[in-house]
């Protein structure tokens, strides 16, 4: 069985790594925060004190980090992955970063005999916990074939969409669709509340029709409970939408709606809501309308 390295034990990375341990894979872990490392070691993993040290011990190394600069530092730094990697290592970056950065890192890694896949995920913390994420993969077919079973431990859907960078391009498309779904849900339910119609009943009435969606079913019950504890933080969705806008601008692709939703999220972050779940986007629309969409509502 392949030995796996894991770097990045945050909201998403920790449960994903735990699922690999539960499946019986030998695991070497590293994170700048000590507590999740201790938790994984207690569950049976070994600790690597640096990305370089992890890379030297494993067949496959996975990273789950916040953004492009973090991945570049972990992969290219003096004490980074490529400093310790042997030829034949497969590097799987499961972070959501700019596609151009994924391409650049893959080219650098290939010159050292390391195959790199960009494999971002969708589904948030709940699906990370139960191992049913959607995994979107870019990179060499041979490397994908070698790690597909590993990815299948963490995801219900594992699809190779093309060459290096295409996984993160797909993730940007995913994040646009999710963001616009959240905005549409928010506008619709604020309208219902403002009109004096119970939003919970509106949700039940429309969820089985064309307006129904995974986003609606995942987020509307939490909104009704006023639960904005993050599965996926607004500030991270802003990061993804900024990457989407940068990519769209570079390609000459229109992204007007994406820009509008990103601005709404930016305003929420500036008001102290950046760490809320992205379903908390509804708070922007609630404030404009002067209502709250909850099971027990009251004027603001």
CATH of the domain at 267: 1.10.1040.10
Q: Decide if 284 is inside a domain.
A: yes
Q: Decide if 298 is inside a domain.
A: no
Looking at residue 85, the DSSP 8-state letter turns out to be: P
Give me the long-range contacts of 184-192 (CB less than 8 A, separation at least 24).
Answer: 185/215, 185/216, 185/219, 185/220, 185/223, 185/282, 186/281, 186/282, 186/284, 186/285, 186/286, 187/285, 189/220, 189/223, 189/282, 189/293, 190/282, 190/285, 190/286, 190/288, 190/289, 190/291, 190/293, 192/293
Check whether residue 187 and residue 76 sit in a common domain. no
Q: Decide if 294 is inside a domain.
A: no
Domain boundary among 163, 184, 207: 163
Q: Decide if 295 is inside a domain.
A: no
Here the CATH number for the domain that contains residue 77 is: 3.40.50.720
Question: 261 lies in which domain range?
Answer: 170-289
pLDDT tens string for the chain (300 positions)?
A: 899 999 999 999 999 999 999 999 999 999 999 999 999 999 999 999 999 999 999 999 999 999 999 999 999 999 999 999 999 999 999 999 999 999 999 999 999 999 999 999 998 888 999 999 999 999 999 999 999 999 999 999 999 999 999 999 999 999 999 999 999 999 999 999 999 999 999 999 999 999 999 999 999 999 999 999 988 899 999 999 999 999 999 999 999 999 999 999 999 999 999 999 999 999 999 999 999 999 864 555
Total number of domains in the chain:
2
Check whether residue 179 and residue 151 sit in a common domain. no
CB-based contact 39:49 (threshold 8 Å): no
Check whether residue 174 and residue 104 sit in a common domain. no
Compute CA distances 80 → 77, 111, 217, 259, whole Å.
Answer: 4, 16, 41, 35
Dihedrals phi, psi of 208, to nearest 5 degrees: -90, -5
Nearest to residue 112, comparing CAs of 46, 61, 47, 65? Answer: 61
Q: Decide if 236 is inside a domain.
A: yes
Check whether residue 217 and residue 158 sit in a common domain. no
Check whether residue 181 and residue 276 sit in a common domain. yes
Catalytic annotation, residues: 171
Check whether residue 277 and residue 182 sit in a common domain. yes
Q: Decide if 99 is inside a domain.
A: yes
Rounded-to-integer distance, Cα 294 and Cα 194, Å: 12
Q: Decide if 300 is inside a domain.
A: no
Domain boundary among 124, 141, 163: 163
What pLDDT, on the 0 to 100 scale, is given for residue 231? Answer: 82
């Amino acid at each position: 069985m392949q030995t796996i390295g894991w770097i990045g034990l945050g909201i998403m990375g920790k449960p994903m790594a735990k699922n690999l341990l539960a499946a019986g894979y030998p695991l070497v872990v590293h994170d700048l925060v000590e507590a999740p490392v201790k938790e994984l070691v207690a569950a049976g993993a070994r600790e690597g004190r640096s990305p370089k040290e992890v890379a030297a011990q494993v067949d496959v190394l996975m990273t789950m980090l916040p953004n492009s600069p973090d991945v570049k530092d972990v992969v290219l730094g003096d004490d980074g992955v490529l400093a310790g990697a042997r030829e034949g290592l497969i590097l799987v970056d499961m972070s959501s970063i700019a596609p151009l950065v994924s391409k650049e890192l893959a080219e650098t890694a290939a010159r050292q005999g390391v195959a790199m896949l960009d494999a971002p995920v969708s589904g948030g913390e709940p699906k990370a916990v139960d191992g049913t994420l959607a995994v979107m993969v870019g990179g060499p077919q041979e490397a994908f074939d070698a790690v597909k079973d590993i990815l299948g431990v963490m995801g219900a859907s594992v699809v190779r969409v093309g060459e290096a960078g295409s996984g993160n391009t797909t993730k940007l498309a995913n994040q646009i669709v999710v963001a616009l779904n959240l905005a549409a849900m928010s506008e619709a339910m604020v309208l219902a509340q403002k009109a004096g119609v119970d939003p919970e009943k509106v949700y039940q009435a429309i969820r089985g029709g064309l307006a129904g969606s995974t986003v609606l079913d995942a987020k509307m019950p939490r909104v009704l409970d006023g639960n904005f504890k993050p599965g996926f933080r607004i500030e991270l969705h802003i990061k993804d939408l900024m990457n989407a806008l940068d990519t769209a601008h570079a390609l000459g692709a229109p992204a007007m709606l994406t820009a509008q939703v990103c601005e709404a999220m930016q305003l929420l972050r500036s008001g102290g809501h950046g760490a809320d779940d992205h379903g908390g986007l509804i708070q922007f629309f609630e404030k404009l309308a002067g209502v709250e969409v909850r099971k027990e509502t009251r004027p603001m």
